[in-house]
Amino acid sequence: MKIKLNLLPAFLVVAVVLSSCGGTESGQTGKESTTTGWSYNDQTNGGFAVAPSEEQKTGPGLVLIEGGTFTMGRVQDDVMYEWNAVPRRVTVSSFYMDETEVRNIDYREYVYWLSRVFGENNLQVVYNALPDTLVWRDPVAYNEPYVEYYFRHPAYNQYPVVGVDWLQANDYCLWRTDRVNERTLVDIGYIELSTDQKDQNNFNTDAYLAGIYQPVIRNPLESLDPNKDSRIYSIEDGVLLPKYRLPSEAEWEFAAFALRGNTSEELVWERRVYPWSGHNVRNDNTKNLGEMRANFVRGNGDMMGVAGNLNDGGSITVPVKSFWPNDYNLYCMAGNVNEWVADVYRPLSFEDVSGFNPYRGNEFQKNYRNPADNNLEVDSLGRLKTVAITEKDAEGRFNYRKSDYRNYRDGDLQSSMNYETKDTASEEYKNGSKNMYVNSQYERSSLVNDNVRVYKGGSWKDRAFYLSPGTRRFLLETESRDDIGFRCAMTRVGSPTGIQ
């Protein structure tokens, strides 16, 4: 590890060490283990370091969503007769979610960073991240100005980014995690800010924790291990934040309904159709009486109201902090743009997933190790290489047996095409998704497969029906549209309320 020493005031050095090597629940050093009697944070006893128990810090742009139980799914008549949102009671653990949709200026910051780091030797990385601005084109409408200006012009800085597919949204979340954690280590004075990172030699949280990426250290963190001079900040220090990610469908829907505003002594006294109380899309507050609560289509050809009183104020999208936030202080959870969520789509997903933190889409991975030396490796983006777990990895386990659970319980023999002729011992039978979604004669038998993802929320070009958080639609993860954006989430560790 490269070490660059800077002289800091003594009190700052002490503060850094104490913040990372604090004691037990009370945060004091020198406390003893109640199971062995050995002292914590004592070099003479071997130096087992224990940081004080602290609540998770809230990452930039996030709002704490206190979890709980709720009825997930349809809360109004199924006018589309889709039967794909059957109500079911589930519990969602507390988590964090972005206050707003990701903006054009946020995504341009991401593209600029990629250009600075990869643009010289791997320009394809930058091209792959760019939003598809051609999603604005319409064969019978003049939308060329949006193709040219919507993503890049400063007039649209505060508007939600669109034209981003599900895979691109996930990559943005990973990048954001690394930039936030890198900034944290810089701000506490541990590492030196580096703007000359190139190609795979860039700060990645997992690569840093694995010791592969080695930043320039400003103030080495003293190790209590008598055999080592210094150590790095690890997960056990509580300094680094968990990963930014897309919310699950259950998390997104729970946050959108924000039923905490209708709860009294553990009793939800009124279910909601929309992210606000009542069954109307107009504001019933005296000051704002009659104004639309979201950006959506009111009727044929009516995208924003009448000149002189535009009401929802947007012919297309609107700035991300438009209208009134819901009871979790989240903006535009209905209308403006639909939003990607993490889940793989199934019409009857609610019947197949767990009652706690329900989610369809698990693909369990493990870190790749080079067979020659058993060392971890990074890919061309500086991320740790991973591979799917094998049946051998799952031996002796009862909670999972394989890597890919995207088609869990829906790829059985009875679900397949011409199932009477299938051989249960064949590879085709074992590959449930192939049986269910692919037909040898027609190549494909359904638009639903393991690579379609759920999006929710309604948009500037949708009717009011889709503003209800219980509604759901799907799109291939490699496709994008002018009415789909996204926002990030983060797991909440520790107490669900933020109070110890």
Helix then strand then coil, in percent of the chain rounded to 5, is 25, 15, 60
Output the pLDDT for position 469: 93
- According to DSSP, the β-strands at 484-485 and 338-344 are parallel
Output the pLDDT for position 415: 47
Q: How many residues does the chain have?
A: 500
Q: Which position has the token pair 């209708």?
A: 262
Question: Above 90 in pLDDT, residue 385?
Answer: yes
Output the pLDDT for position 141: 95
Mean pLDDT in residue range 449-468: 94
DSSP-assigned letters across all residues of 402-451: SSB-TTTTTSSGGGSTTGGG--TTSHHHH-HHHHHH--TTTS-S-S--TT
Output the pLDDT for position 78: 64
Token pair, residue 257, equals: 């309904």
Global pTM value: 0.88
- Percent of the chain past pLDDT 70, that is, above it, reads 83
User: Does the CA dihedral 109-114-119-125 come out positive or negative?
Assistant: negative
Among 270, 276, 264, 292, residue whose Cα is nearest residue 328: 276
How does pLDDT run across 86-132, given as a tens digit for each residue? 888 999 999 999 999 999 999 999 999 999 999 999 999 999 999 99
Crossing angle of helices 166-187 and 104-118, in 10° steps, is: 80
Output the pLDDT for position 7: 43
Output the pLDDT for position 369: 95
H or E element at residue 16 = helix 10-20
Q: What is the DSSP letter of 195?
A: S
Q: What is the DSSP letter of 109?
A: H
Mean pLDDT in residue range 60-68: 95
Which domains, from first to last, does the chain contain?
Answer: 59-188+239-361+456-500 (3.90.1580.10)
